[in-house]
């Protein structure tokens, strides 16, 4: 037995052993015995049994082909629903069955009628019993400008992989602003719904990108590496990434990014993702709309003001603004 301090290069051969912890060198015998015991305790493949479970249920592929979503106004934006898990679903059911199946392990029960399954799924979302939702997963391919990708990538519960400008050349395709928006009157980070066109500004933007691409090409021709040449590229340049997420976190993402507080360009991408959700998970999409889009959190004071049609008293200017907005939204939705 050698001490680590005595070893210059480690060449492990069968039967040879090194004591890594020098404090143990006074008890090498016990150490060897301990390691031998661990060896004896190792699990052997032959003690395991695998059984293929017979299933009489007929399954179908919910996504035989990827589905690409585009938008007429944002012509170079797209979201492609690449994959979903589970892909194979029992006939008559959609991907939510997996969440229901996972939830039913809590009661030791399995599949029930489609109606019972749909009711249980709705119950899960209504009561924020969200862990069963994590058994349903989505993979999207997204094409959007870098500044939109940057907002989406703040969502840490997604897994991402993006087109790399270290290895690949700049696509030389940029965001095309068709309609300009003015800043919002009271919300500093937002914009108005009114739009305007300006040919001179549009031409300036296009010229700016053309000039940037010309400099990029010159840098590459001058043997500058791609990872440095990319530093001149504006955030309006288009990028591509893969994004995977489970249903629970997709709900959270869509609630934030389909909301009017989110920049319109990012909402376009979120909306396309929601179309993918609607396609393969219609029950989840309905529950999402019911409990996340068409649902409001109101304090008792807010509720009192709403029901009695009274002024809502608060010292917070933004609190009052948000209450009035919620009230207006609720009234509009009730009437429609």
Ligand X SMILES: Cc1cc2nc3c(=O)[nH]c(=O)nc-3n(C[C@H](O)[C@H](O)[C@H](O)COP(=O)(O)OP(=O)(O)OC[C@H]3O[C@@H](n4cnc5c(N)ncnc54)[C@H](O)[C@@H]3O)c2cc1C
**What residues make contact with ligand X under the rule CB under 6 A?**
154-157, 249, 252, 256, 261-262
Task: Report phi then psi at 139, rounded to 5.
Answer: -125, 125
Q: How far is the CB of 49 from ligand X (least distance, A)?
A: 38
> Looking at the chain, which runs of residues are DSSP E strands?
2-3, 18-19, 59-61, 67-70, 78-85, 88-90, 137-145, 159-162, 180-183, 191-196, 238-246
Catalytic-residue membership of 87: no
Q: How far is the CB of 324 from ligand X (least distance, A)?
A: 19
Q: How far is the CB of 261 from ligand X (least distance, A)?
A: 4
Task: Report phi then psi at 141, rounded to 5.
Answer: -110, 130
Q: Facing residues of 34 across strands? A: none
Q: How far is the CB of 248 from ligand X (least distance, A)?
A: 9
User: Could you tell me which residues come within 8 angstroms of residue 321 by beta carbon, excluding any fewer than 6 positions away?
Assistant: 186
Please, which residue, 261 or 325, has the CB nearer to ligand X? Answer: 261
Q: Is the peptide bond before 86 cis (omega within 30 degrees of 0)?
A: yes
Give the whole-angstrom CA distance, residue 104 versus residue 106.
5
Give the whole-angstrom CA distance, residue 130 versus residue 121.
10
Catalytic residue among 98, 230, 257, 267: 257
- Dihedral sign (CA 169, 172, 175, 180): positive
Please, which residue, 245 or 272, has the CB nearer to ligand X? Answer: 245
With CA atoms as reference, report the closest residue to 197 among 212, 209, 179: 179
Give the whole-angstrom CA distance, residue 84 versus residue 99.
13
Please, which residue, 25 or 263, has the CB nearer to ligand X? Answer: 263
Q: How far is the CB of 133 from ligand X (least distance, A)?
A: 13
Tokens of 156: 């840490």
Please, which residue, 10 or 185, has the CB nearer to ligand X? Answer: 185
Give the whole-angstrom CA distance, residue 301 versus residue 311.
10
Give the whole-angstrom CA distance, residue 205 versus residue 201.
6
Q: How far is the CB of 156 from ligand X (least distance, A)?
A: 3
Task: Report phi then psi at 69, rounded to 5.
Answer: -110, 135
Give the whole-angstrom CA distance, residue 294 versus residue 327.
13
Please, which residue, 208 or 261, has the CB nearer to ligand X? Answer: 261
Please, which residue, 77 or 158, has the CB nearer to ligand X? Answer: 158
User: Residue holding tokens 């395991």?
Assistant: 48
Helix axes 247-257, 264-280, angle to 10 degrees: 140
Give the whole-angstrom CA distance, residue 156 versus residue 297.
25
Q: How far is the CB of 183 from ligand X (least distance, A)?
A: 15
Catalytic residues: 257
């Amino acid at each position: 037995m050698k001490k680590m301090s005595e070893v210059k290069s480690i060449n492990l051969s069968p039967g040879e052993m090194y004591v890594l912890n020098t404090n143990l060198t006074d008890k090498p015998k016990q150490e060897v015995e301990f390691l031998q015991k661990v060896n004896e305790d190792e699990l052997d493949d032959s003690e395991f049994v695998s059984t293929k479970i017979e299933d009489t249920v007929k399954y179908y592929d919910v996504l035989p082909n990827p589905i690409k979503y585009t938008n007429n106004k944002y012509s170079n934006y797209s979201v492609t629903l690449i994959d979903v898990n589970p892909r194979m679903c029992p006939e008559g059911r959609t991907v939510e069955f997996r969440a229901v199946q996972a939830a039913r392990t809590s009661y030791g029960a399995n599949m029930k009628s489609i109606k019972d399954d749909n009711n249980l799924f709705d119950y899960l979302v209504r009561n924020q019993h969200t862990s069963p939702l994590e058994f349903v997963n989505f993979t999207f391919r997204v094409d959007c400008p870098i500044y939109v990708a940057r907002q989406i990538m703040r969502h840490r519960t997604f897994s991402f992989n993006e087109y790399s400008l270290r290895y690949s050349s700049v696509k030389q395709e940029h965001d095309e602003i068709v309609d300009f928006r003015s800043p919002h009157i009271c919300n500093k980070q937002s914009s108005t719904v009114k739009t305007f066109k300006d040919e001179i500004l549009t031409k300036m933007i296009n010229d700016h990108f053309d000039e940037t691409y010309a400099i990029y090409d010159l840098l590459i021709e001058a043997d500058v590496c791609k990872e440095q040449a990319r530093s001149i590229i504006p955030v309006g340049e288009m990028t591509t990434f893969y994004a995977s997420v489970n249903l629970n976190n997709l709900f959270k993402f869509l609630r934030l990014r389909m909301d009017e507080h989110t920049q319109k360009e990012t909402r376009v991408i979120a909306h396309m993702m929601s179309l993918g959700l609607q396609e393969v998970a219609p029950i989840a999409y309905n529950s999402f709309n019911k409990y996340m889009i068409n649902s409001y959190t109101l304090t008792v004071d807010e509720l009192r003001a709403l029901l009695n049609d009274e002024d809502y008293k608060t010292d917070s200017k933004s609190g009052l603004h948000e209450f009035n907005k919620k009230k207006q939204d609720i009234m509009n939705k009730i009437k429609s």
